[in-house]
């Protein structure tokens, strides 16, 4: 059975959402970030037991019948390829596009989107800097325009259907939601993210996330 290590309030949410989309059974082992308030007896990212699984001390990780993988987006690419279905690439070309969008989101969007999230809503340090948030919003205007144009053809990133490319990218774009002005100037992005988050698998994951202590 697939085991996912990580709490819902982490990038493990990406893997849990995909597992729900694929309808595959999985076991979630809660592992909390070491810099948060760690409940007594709970595994955290610096726990010796978890470091044996992921020596990087980061979540998520998975153990899929003995195959241990780290990095949330890579895990999702693996799970989609293994289990197939409409969320996976139907051709080598589609697999290339899926990888392209996943890496684009990770390198071009996430660093800035995280700063929007952290400096508008709050972060582990408790320090919010509006200047950092404003600079991040400015930096995201270009990527949002690129994404908006890409969605013009079918409303999805690859082919004419929801794929793991949409899931991976949507989970990163989500961090920028505290900046509604970005979405007002990119209406296709706004509609696409709403469609992604309206999916039953996302709603199930998000309900569990909301039930988890902040």
Q: Is residue 17 in some structural domain? A: yes
Whether 48 and 32 map to the same domain: the answer is yes
Q: Is residue 208 in some structural domain? A: no
What DSSP character marks residue 39? P
CA distance 44 to 38: 7
Whether 103 and 180 map to the same domain: the answer is yes
Q: Which residues contact 172 (CB under 8 A, 6 or more apart)?
A: 105, 106, 109, 110, 113
Q: Which residues contact 188 (CB under 8 A, 6 or more apart)?
A: 147, 148, 151, 152, 155
Domain's final residue, options 58, 84, 110: 84
Whether 51 and 147 map to the same domain: the answer is no
Q: Is residue 174 in some structural domain? A: yes
Whether 73 and 97 map to the same domain: the answer is no
- Predicted pLDDT of residue 130: 94
135-182 confidence digits (pLDDT tens): 999 999 999 999 999 999 999 999 999 999 999 999 999 999 999 999
Asked if 137 and 111 touch (Cβ cutoff 8 Å), the reply is: no
Q: Is residue 206 in some structural domain? A: no
- In degrees and rounded to multiples of 5, residue 52 shows phi and psi of -70, -25
* Cβ neighbours around 213 below 10 Å, total: 9
* Cβ neighbours around 127 below 10 Å, total: 10
Q: Is residue 210 in some structural domain? A: no
- Predicted pLDDT of residue 124: 78
Q: Is residue 51 in some structural domain? A: yes
Asked if 153 and 122 touch (Cβ cutoff 8 Å), the reply is: no
Domain's final residue, options 43, 63, 84: 84
- Predicted pLDDT of residue 122: 83
- Predicted pLDDT of residue 127: 83
Q: Which domain holds residue 22?
A: 2-84
Q: Which two tokens stand for residue 147?
A: 């994404």
Domain count for the chain, please give it: 2
Q: Is residue 36 in some structural domain? A: yes
Q: Which two tokens stand for residue 41?
A: 């007896």
Per-block mean pLDDT, blocks of 10 residues, the chain (214 long): 97 98 97 92 96 98 98 98 97 98 98 97 84 98 98 97 98 98 98 98 98 90
Q: What is the CATH number of the domain that holds 56?
A: 3.40.30.10
Domain's final residue, options 65, 84, 103: 84
Whether 149 and 55 map to the same domain: the answer is no
Q: Is residue 211 in some structural domain? A: no
- Predicted pLDDT of residue 10: 97
């Amino acid at each position: 059975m697939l085991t996912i290590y990580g709490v819902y309030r982490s990038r493990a949410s990406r893997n849990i959402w995909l597992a729900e989309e694929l309808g595959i059974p999985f076991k979630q082992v809660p592992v909390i970030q070491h810099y948060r308030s760690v409940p007594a007896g709970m595994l955290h990212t610096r726990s010796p037991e978890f470091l044996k699984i992921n020596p990087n001390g980061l979540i998520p990780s998975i153990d899929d019948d003995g195959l241990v993988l780290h990095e949330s987006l890579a895990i999702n690419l693996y799970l989609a390829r293994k289990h197939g279905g409409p969320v996976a690439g139907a051709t080598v070309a589609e697999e290339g596009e899926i990888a392209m969008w996943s890496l684009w989101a990770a390198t071009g969007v996430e660093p800035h989107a995280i700063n929007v999230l952290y400096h508008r809503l709050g972060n582990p340090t408790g320090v919010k800097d509006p200047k950092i948030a404003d600079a991040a919003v400015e930096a995201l205007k270009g990527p949002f325009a690129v994404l908006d144009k890409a969605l013009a053809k079918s409303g999805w990133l690859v082919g004419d259907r929801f794929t793991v490319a949409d899931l991976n990218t949507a989970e990163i774009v989500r961090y920028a939601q505290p900046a509604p002005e970005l979405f007002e100037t990119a209406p296709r992005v706004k509609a696409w993210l709403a469609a992604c988050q309206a999916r039953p698998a996302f709603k199930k994951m998000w309900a569990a996330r909301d039930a988890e202590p902040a």
